Amino acid sequence: MILNAEERKFEPFSLTRLLRTCFGQGNGERVCILIDLPDPSAIKGFSFLGDEKLSIQNYGHEIFYKGFKNGVLEDLNWTGGEIFAYKETGGSNLDMEDVCFDPAGKELSLDKDIYTNYDIILTVSTFSATAPLTAKCKAFGFRGATLHGLNQIIVDTGLSVDYEIVSEEAERLRLGLTKADRFEIDFEVENTCYTLTLHTNGQEAQKSHGLCPPGKPDVANLPAGEVYFVPESAEGVFPFKYEEGTVGLLHVKEGKIFKSQFVYGDYSQIEAHNKKLADDPMTGALGELGFGTQVLPFSGRDIQDEKILGTIHVATGRDDHLGGKLTPDLFKERLNASHDDVLYAPHKTPEIRLQEARMYRGEQTEVLIRNYKPAEYMVELLKTPAAEAAVV
């Protein structure tokens, strides 16, 4: 196990290898690509390709759509390869509007024309679609993957790894953390320490590992590589970095953030957050605790960076796609029903020191992370075969 991303060697990106590993060799399955656009009709004639602000969607066209046209479909024994656009949702994991368009400009329905007619759906988007697509795959029976925020670093590294190995390593860590009673995370900001406690009450840990084999409707999130829980409750205080460097302290009780306290920066951002919490308290609900499992370079995009070993993310909002009970109907407004990851990583939150993360399981106490580096317990889990890492 190499613990330094600079020492890791990556094979050149291969779309065939990635999709064959994640989905298995095909048997005539029909596949398509979805992209999100501010105006989905801009897919007509591929006019969106001239917009420099839509680089993510360009990857969907250049790598996936063109890749399918250039022999990948035949390599995988898949059919289809069409591309469609839907209206960007404006937030992470918000439900998608049903209207979509094809490159001829024809208006279609996601429910009637896409989910019912494709076996594998790959979504390359600005905003994550994992939650809504997970719900749709259960209703319509397809498999898929969400790849939001793509950039060249992700293509060259996070999508160029062997996901069989990623799955095995994630399983080792999952078994080492599963059935924990609670986790404590110590943060330091402005020379003061704050602790957030998240209760998992013996819950079985889950993993995002990139494999989506035939036989079961499922949606993988790529790049993958994390172990996660849906907290049953939480309390304490943890720092939060807003836009443009503003930092506040989020106060938590009974599993929800109930206020933000100003530390420094733009006070109006704290006021706006507190107003939103008062107007719709569900926006402060903590819906996930995740630990990265991979050794990768930082990409500047949370989709990859939250999968890096030594990072932690805490998410607010809906968690139904993770097996939780926070569904969109519980929120006051549709736009509030997002799932937003709050990532703690050295390049993203240098103002916040992740002093230590601990796991409590019965009489067992283990330090998991110190100063954004995996502690000995996690390092040893990665060296131990999955069968031996299981809880006795």
Q: Which residues of 148-170 are buried (b: 16+ CB within 10 A; e: fewer)?
A: bbbbebbbebbbbbebeebbebb
> How many Å from the N-terminal Cα to the C-terminal Cα in the chain?
24
* Amino acid letter for position 238: F
Nearest to 294 by CA among 147, 137, 391, 165: 165
Is the N-terminal amide bond of 223 cis, ω within 30° of 0?
A: yes
Residue 390: pLDDT band with limits 50, 70, 90: low
Residue 63: pLDDT band with limits 50, 70, 90: very high
Q: What percent of the chain has pLDDT over 90?
A: 89
Residues 94, 132: contact at Cβ < 8 Å? Answer: yes
Packing angle of the helix pair 163-177, 376-383 (nearest 10 deg):
130
Q: Does residue 6 register a pLDDT over 80?
A: no
Residue 64: pLDDT band with limits 50, 70, 90: very high
Radius of gyration of the chain (CA): 21
DSSP assignment letter at 285: B
Q: Does residue 108 register a pLDDT over 60?
A: yes
Q: How many CA atoms lie within 13 A of 221 on its CB side?
A: 25
Q: Does residue 389 register a pLDDT over 70?
A: no
Cβ-based neighbours of 50, under 8 Å, separated by 6 or more: none
Nearest to 295 by CA among 378, 367, 188: 378
User: 63 by DSSP, 3-state: which?
Assistant: helix
The domain spans of the chain are 5-150, 163-389
Residue 369 and residue 375: Cα distance in Å, rounded?
A: 5
For the entire predicted model, the pTM comes to 0.94
